[in-house]
A and B are shown apart, each in its own frame.
Chain A
Protein backbone atom coordinates (compact mmCIF):
# COMPACT_ATOMS: atom_id res chain seq x y z
CA UNK A 1 0.00 0.00 0.00
CA UNK A 2 1.43 3.28 -0.97
CA UNK A 3 1.75 6.23 1.33
CA UNK A 4 -0.78 8.07 -0.81
CA UNK A 5 -3.39 5.28 -0.41
CA UNK A 6 -2.90 5.17 3.37
CA UNK A 7 -3.30 8.92 3.58
CA UNK A 8 -6.57 8.75 1.58
CA UNK A 9 -8.03 6.01 3.81
CA UNK A 10 -7.18 7.89 6.98
CA UNK A 11 -8.79 10.95 5.47
CA UNK A 12 -12.08 9.12 4.72
CA UNK A 13 -12.16 7.65 8.22
CA UNK A 14 -11.55 11.06 9.69
CA UNK A 15 -14.38 12.63 7.71
CA UNK A 16 -16.75 9.78 8.66
CA UNK A 17 -15.76 10.05 12.32
CA UNK A 18 -16.29 13.76 12.38
CA UNK A 19 -19.66 13.37 10.65
CA UNK A 20 -20.71 10.70 13.18
CA UNK A 21 -19.61 12.82 16.10
CA UNK A 22 -21.58 15.78 14.76
CA UNK A 23 -24.71 13.67 14.35
CA UNK A 24 -24.43 12.09 17.83
CA UNK A 25 -23.62 15.36 19.48
CA UNK A 26 -26.35 17.31 17.79
CA UNK A 27 -29.05 18.80 20.06
CA UNK A 28 -31.90 16.39 20.56
CA UNK A 29 -29.95 13.24 19.98
CA UNK A 30 -29.23 12.35 23.57
CA UNK A 31 -32.08 10.84 25.55
CA UNK A 32 -31.84 13.56 28.17
CA UNK A 33 -32.10 16.31 25.60
CA UNK A 34 -34.98 14.63 23.80
CA UNK A 35 -36.86 14.37 27.12
CA UNK A 36 -36.16 18.01 27.85
CA UNK A 37 -37.47 19.00 24.44
CA UNK A 38 -40.64 17.03 25.04
CA UNK A 39 -41.19 18.66 28.40
CA UNK A 40 -40.50 22.19 27.27
CA UNK A 41 -43.78 22.87 25.44
CA UNK A 42 -45.77 21.50 28.42
CA UNK A 43 -43.98 23.91 30.76
CA UNK A 44 -44.74 26.74 28.39
CA UNK A 45 -48.44 25.80 28.32
CA UNK A 46 -48.58 25.66 32.10
CA UNK A 47 -47.04 29.07 32.44
CA UNK A 48 -49.30 30.73 29.90
CA UNK A 49 -52.33 32.54 31.38
CA UNK A 50 -55.68 31.05 30.50
CA UNK A 51 -57.90 32.94 28.16
CA UNK A 52 -60.29 35.28 29.96
CA UNK A 53 -58.49 34.90 33.26
CA UNK A 54 -57.86 38.08 35.17
CA UNK A 55 -54.24 38.67 36.05
CA UNK A 56 -55.21 40.91 38.94
CA UNK A 57 -54.30 38.88 42.04
CA UNK A 58 -56.70 40.97 44.16
CA UNK A 59 -59.67 39.89 42.08
CA UNK A 60 -58.42 36.51 40.94
CA UNK A 61 -58.87 33.83 43.55
CA UNK A 62 -58.42 30.26 42.40
CA UNK A 63 -59.73 28.87 45.68
CA UNK A 64 -63.24 30.06 44.76
CA UNK A 65 -63.14 27.93 41.65
CA UNK A 66 -62.04 24.99 43.78
CA UNK A 67 -64.89 25.64 46.23
CA UNK A 68 -67.39 25.72 43.37
CA UNK A 69 -66.00 22.49 41.94
CA UNK A 70 -66.38 20.82 45.37
CA UNK A 71 -69.95 22.11 45.66
CA UNK A 72 -70.66 20.77 42.18
CA UNK A 73 -69.36 17.35 43.24
CA UNK A 74 -71.57 17.44 46.36
CA UNK A 75 -74.62 18.33 44.29
CA UNK A 76 -73.85 15.45 41.93
CA UNK A 77 -73.89 13.11 44.96
CA UNK A 78 -77.20 14.61 46.10
CA UNK A 79 -78.67 14.05 42.65
CA UNK A 80 -77.46 10.42 42.66
CA UNK A 81 -79.09 9.88 46.08
CA UNK A 82 -82.36 11.41 44.88
CA UNK A 83 -82.36 9.24 41.75
CA UNK A 84 -81.75 6.16 43.90
CA UNK A 85 -84.58 7.22 46.24
CA UNK A 86 -86.98 7.38 43.30
CA UNK A 87 -85.79 3.99 42.05
CA UNK A 88 -86.34 2.36 45.44
CA UNK A 89 -89.70 4.02 45.98
CA UNK A 90 -90.93 2.66 42.67
CA UNK A 91 -89.60 -0.85 43.37
CA UNK A 92 -92.46 -3.26 43.94
CA UNK A 93 -92.42 -4.17 47.61
CA UNK A 94 -94.34 -7.27 46.47
CA UNK A 95 -95.93 -8.24 49.77
CA UNK A 96 -96.13 -12.03 49.82
CA UNK A 97 -99.51 -13.19 51.08
Chain B
Protein backbone atom coordinates (compact mmCIF):
# COMPACT_ATOMS: atom_id res chain seq x y z
CA UNK B 1 0.00 0.00 0.00
CA UNK B 2 2.78 2.38 1.02
CA UNK B 3 4.65 1.54 -2.16
CA UNK B 4 1.50 2.21 -4.19
CA UNK B 5 1.05 5.64 -2.57
CA UNK B 6 4.66 6.61 -3.24
CA UNK B 7 4.27 5.49 -6.82
CA UNK B 8 1.07 7.53 -7.17
CA UNK B 9 2.74 10.63 -5.73
CA UNK B 10 5.72 10.23 -8.01
CA UNK B 11 3.34 9.89 -10.92
CA UNK B 12 1.56 13.11 -9.97
CA UNK B 13 4.86 14.99 -9.75
CA UNK B 14 5.89 13.70 -13.15
CA UNK B 15 2.56 14.64 -14.72
CA UNK B 16 2.74 18.10 -13.11
CA UNK B 17 6.23 18.62 -14.39
CA UNK B 18 5.29 17.58 -17.90
CA UNK B 19 2.21 19.80 -17.91
CA UNK B 20 4.07 22.75 -16.31
CA UNK B 21 7.10 22.73 -18.58
CA UNK B 22 5.47 24.16 -21.72
CA UNK B 23 3.85 26.96 -19.66
CA UNK B 24 7.13 27.93 -17.99
CA UNK B 25 8.91 27.86 -21.30
CA UNK B 26 6.24 30.08 -22.80
CA UNK B 27 6.61 32.52 -19.92
CA UNK B 28 10.38 32.56 -20.43
CA UNK B 29 9.87 33.31 -24.09
CA UNK B 30 7.44 36.11 -23.20
CA UNK B 31 9.98 37.60 -20.80
CA UNK B 32 12.66 37.52 -23.49
CA UNK B 33 10.32 39.05 -26.02
CA UNK B 34 9.18 41.75 -23.63
CA UNK B 35 12.78 42.55 -22.68
CA UNK B 36 13.76 42.73 -26.34
CA UNK B 37 10.87 45.08 -27.10
CA UNK B 38 11.79 47.33 -24.18
CA UNK B 39 15.42 47.38 -25.33
CA UNK B 40 14.55 48.22 -28.91
CA UNK B 41 12.24 50.97 -27.72
CA UNK B 42 15.04 52.32 -25.48
CA UNK B 43 17.44 52.34 -28.44
CA UNK B 44 14.92 54.08 -30.71
CA UNK B 45 14.22 56.81 -28.13
CA UNK B 46 17.93 57.54 -27.95
CA UNK B 47 18.47 57.48 -31.71
CA UNK B 48 15.59 59.94 -32.13
CA UNK B 49 17.03 62.29 -29.51
CA UNK B 50 20.51 62.03 -31.03
CA UNK B 51 19.14 62.92 -34.48
CA UNK B 52 17.58 66.08 -33.11
CA UNK B 53 20.76 67.00 -31.21
CA UNK B 54 22.94 66.49 -34.31
CA UNK B 55 20.59 68.76 -36.28
CA UNK B 56 20.68 71.38 -33.52
CA UNK B 57 24.49 71.35 -33.39
CA UNK B 58 24.76 71.62 -37.17
CA UNK B 59 22.56 74.74 -37.12
CA UNK B 60 24.09 76.45 -34.08
CA UNK B 61 25.70 79.59 -35.56
CA UNK B 62 27.63 80.56 -32.47
CA UNK B 63 29.46 77.26 -31.85
CA UNK B 64 33.18 77.36 -32.57
CA UNK B 65 34.27 75.08 -35.41
CA UNK B 66 36.32 72.92 -33.05
CA UNK B 67 33.43 72.40 -30.64
CA UNK B 68 30.98 71.66 -33.45
CA UNK B 69 33.39 69.04 -34.83
CA UNK B 70 33.97 67.34 -31.47
CA UNK B 71 30.28 67.29 -30.52
CA UNK B 72 29.24 65.99 -33.93
CA UNK B 73 31.77 63.14 -33.73
CA UNK B 74 30.54 62.24 -30.23
CA UNK B 75 26.84 62.32 -31.14
CA UNK B 76 27.22 60.47 -34.43
CA UNK B 77 29.60 57.91 -32.88
CA UNK B 78 27.03 57.15 -30.20
CA UNK B 79 24.30 56.81 -32.83
CA UNK B 80 26.44 54.32 -34.77
CA UNK B 81 27.13 52.32 -31.59
CA UNK B 82 23.44 52.20 -30.67
CA UNK B 83 22.44 51.21 -34.20
CA UNK B 84 24.91 48.29 -34.03
CA UNK B 85 23.53 47.31 -30.64
CA UNK B 86 20.01 47.41 -32.06
CA UNK B 87 20.94 44.80 -34.67
CA UNK B 88 22.41 42.49 -32.02
CA UNK B 89 19.46 42.88 -29.64
CA UNK B 90 16.99 41.91 -32.35
CA UNK B 91 18.50 38.43 -32.61
CA UNK B 92 19.72 37.78 -29.07
CA UNK B 93 18.29 36.02 -26.03
CA UNK B 94 19.23 35.10 -22.48
CA UNK B 95 22.25 36.66 -20.79
CA UNK B 96 23.60 38.20 -23.99
CA UNK B 97 20.30 40.04 -24.47
CA UNK B 98 20.33 41.25 -20.86
CA UNK B 99 23.93 42.49 -21.15
CA UNK B 100 23.26 44.41 -24.34
CA UNK B 101 20.04 45.87 -22.94
CA UNK B 102 21.97 47.17 -19.96
CA UNK B 103 24.60 48.62 -22.27
CA UNK B 104 22.01 50.80 -24.05
CA UNK B 105 21.77 53.11 -21.06
CA UNK B 106 24.90 52.49 -19.02
CA UNK B 107 27.50 52.61 -21.82
CA UNK B 108 25.99 55.53 -23.76
CA UNK B 109 24.31 57.94 -21.31
CA UNK B 110 22.50 59.85 -24.04
CA UNK B 111 19.98 61.74 -21.89
CA UNK B 112 22.05 62.54 -18.81
CA UNK B 113 25.43 63.25 -20.39
CA UNK B 114 25.77 63.34 -24.16
CA UNK B 115 22.92 65.63 -25.21
CA UNK B 116 22.97 67.97 -22.18
CA UNK B 117 26.71 68.35 -22.68
CA UNK B 118 26.14 69.45 -26.30
CA UNK B 119 23.55 72.00 -25.10
CA UNK B 120 25.87 73.34 -22.40
CA UNK B 121 28.78 73.74 -24.82
CA UNK B 122 26.48 75.57 -27.25
CA UNK B 123 25.23 77.80 -24.42
CA UNK B 124 28.80 78.57 -23.30
CA UNK B 125 29.91 79.49 -26.83
CA UNK B 126 26.84 81.72 -27.29
CA UNK B 127 27.65 83.44 -24.00
CA UNK B 128 31.23 84.07 -25.12
CA UNK B 129 29.94 85.54 -28.37
CA UNK B 130 27.66 87.82 -26.33
CA UNK B 131 30.67 88.85 -24.24
CA UNK B 132 32.48 89.91 -27.43
CA UNK B 133 29.49 91.98 -28.53
CA UNK B 134 29.27 93.61 -25.10
CA UNK B 135 32.89 94.78 -25.45
CA UNK B 136 31.86 96.69 -28.60
CA UNK B 137 28.77 98.06 -26.86
CA UNK B 138 30.80 99.21 -23.85
CA UNK B 139 33.20 101.12 -26.11
CA UNK B 140 30.34 102.82 -27.97
CA UNK B 141 28.55 103.72 -24.74
CA UNK B 142 31.78 105.10 -23.28
CA UNK B 143 32.26 107.32 -26.35
CA UNK B 144 28.67 108.53 -26.11
CA UNK B 145 29.03 109.25 -22.38
CA UNK B 146 32.26 111.22 -23.01
CA UNK B 147 30.56 113.30 -25.69
CA UNK B 148 27.55 113.97 -23.46
CA UNK B 149 29.91 115.01 -20.63
CA UNK B 150 31.82 117.29 -23.03
CA UNK B 151 28.45 118.85 -23.87
CA UNK B 152 28.03 119.73 -20.20
CA UNK B 153 25.85 116.89 -18.93
CA UNK B 154 26.46 115.17 -15.60
CA UNK B 155 27.31 111.59 -16.51
CA UNK B 156 28.39 110.32 -13.09
CA UNK B 157 25.58 107.78 -12.80
CA UNK B 158 26.04 106.53 -16.35
CA UNK B 159 29.77 106.03 -15.81
CA UNK B 160 29.03 103.99 -12.68
CA UNK B 161 26.49 101.90 -14.60
CA UNK B 162 29.02 101.33 -17.37
CA UNK B 163 31.61 100.15 -14.84
CA UNK B 164 29.04 97.72 -13.35
CA UNK B 165 28.14 96.51 -16.82
CA UNK B 166 31.79 95.78 -17.62
CA UNK B 167 32.16 93.95 -14.32
CA UNK B 168 29.17 91.70 -15.12
CA UNK B 169 30.57 91.01 -18.60
CA UNK B 170 33.98 90.10 -17.16
CA UNK B 171 32.35 87.74 -14.67
CA UNK B 172 30.33 86.11 -17.49
CA UNK B 173 33.54 85.71 -19.52
CA UNK B 174 35.31 84.02 -16.63
CA UNK B 175 32.43 81.60 -16.09
CA UNK B 176 31.62 80.76 -19.72
CA UNK B 177 35.20 80.35 -20.94
CA UNK B 178 35.74 77.17 -18.91
CA UNK B 179 32.50 75.35 -19.76
CA UNK B 180 33.48 73.42 -22.89
CA UNK B 181 36.91 72.29 -21.71
CA UNK B 182 35.51 71.04 -18.42
CA UNK B 183 32.99 68.64 -19.97
CA UNK B 184 34.01 67.69 -23.52
CA UNK B 185 36.18 64.76 -22.41
CA UNK B 186 33.67 63.22 -19.99
CA UNK B 187 32.69 59.61 -20.72
CA UNK B 188 29.61 57.57 -19.74
CA UNK B 189 31.87 55.80 -17.21
CA UNK B 190 32.63 59.18 -15.60
CA UNK B 191 28.90 59.83 -15.22
CA UNK B 192 28.32 56.32 -13.85
CA UNK B 193 30.95 57.04 -11.19
CA UNK B 194 29.64 60.50 -10.35
CA UNK B 195 26.17 61.65 -11.39
CA UNK B 196 27.03 65.32 -10.70
CA UNK B 197 29.85 65.65 -13.26
CA UNK B 198 27.88 68.16 -15.37
CA UNK B 199 26.70 70.29 -12.43
CA UNK B 200 29.62 72.77 -12.29
CA UNK B 201 29.37 73.49 -16.04
CA UNK B 202 25.60 73.87 -15.81
CA UNK B 203 25.94 76.28 -12.89
CA UNK B 204 28.63 78.27 -14.74
CA UNK B 205 26.35 78.61 -17.79
CA UNK B 206 23.40 79.72 -15.65
CA UNK B 207 25.50 82.25 -13.70
CA UNK B 208 27.04 83.66 -16.89
CA UNK B 209 23.56 84.02 -18.37
CA UNK B 210 22.42 85.97 -15.30
CA UNK B 211 25.51 88.22 -15.50
CA UNK B 212 24.85 88.92 -19.17
CA UNK B 213 21.17 89.69 -18.50
CA UNK B 214 22.25 92.19 -15.82
CA UNK B 215 24.78 93.74 -18.21
CA UNK B 216 22.08 93.96 -20.90
CA UNK B 217 19.70 95.74 -18.51
CA UNK B 218 22.40 98.27 -17.54
CA UNK B 219 23.30 98.94 -21.19
CA UNK B 220 19.65 99.70 -21.94
CA UNK B 221 19.46 102.04 -18.94
CA UNK B 222 22.55 103.91 -20.10
CA UNK B 223 21.05 104.22 -23.59
CA UNK B 224 17.82 105.56 -22.10
CA UNK B 225 19.71 108.10 -19.99
CA UNK B 226 21.71 109.29 -23.00
CA UNK B 227 18.48 110.00 -24.88
CA UNK B 228 17.04 112.25 -22.19
Contact = CB atoms under 8 A, between A and B. Distances in A.
Category for how many chain B residues contact A: 35 or more
A68 B220 contact: yes
Contacts of A95: 102, 104-106
Contacts of A37: none
Interface string A41-65: 0000000000011101011110111
Interface stretch (B9-17, B70-78, B111-119): B111-119
Given A67-B136, A93-B111, A96-B105, A74 B223 contact: no
Contact of B102 (A52, A56, A96): A96
Given A74-B62, A75-B216, A94-B42, A82 B119 contact: yes
**B contact patch SS:** helix
B10 to A, nearest CB: 39
A82 B147 CA distance: 40
Contacts of B186: none
Contacts of B62: 74, 77
Nearest 10 CB-CB pairings of A with B: A95-B105, A81-B123, A96-B101, A91-B111, A81-B119, A85-B119, A85-B116, A74-B130, A54-B227, A88-B116
Interface of A: 52-54, 56, 58-61, 63-65, 67-68, 70-72, 74-75, 77-79, 81-82, 84-85, 88-89, 91-97
6 contacts: A60-B227, A74-B133, A81-B119, A89-B111, A89-B112, A95-B106
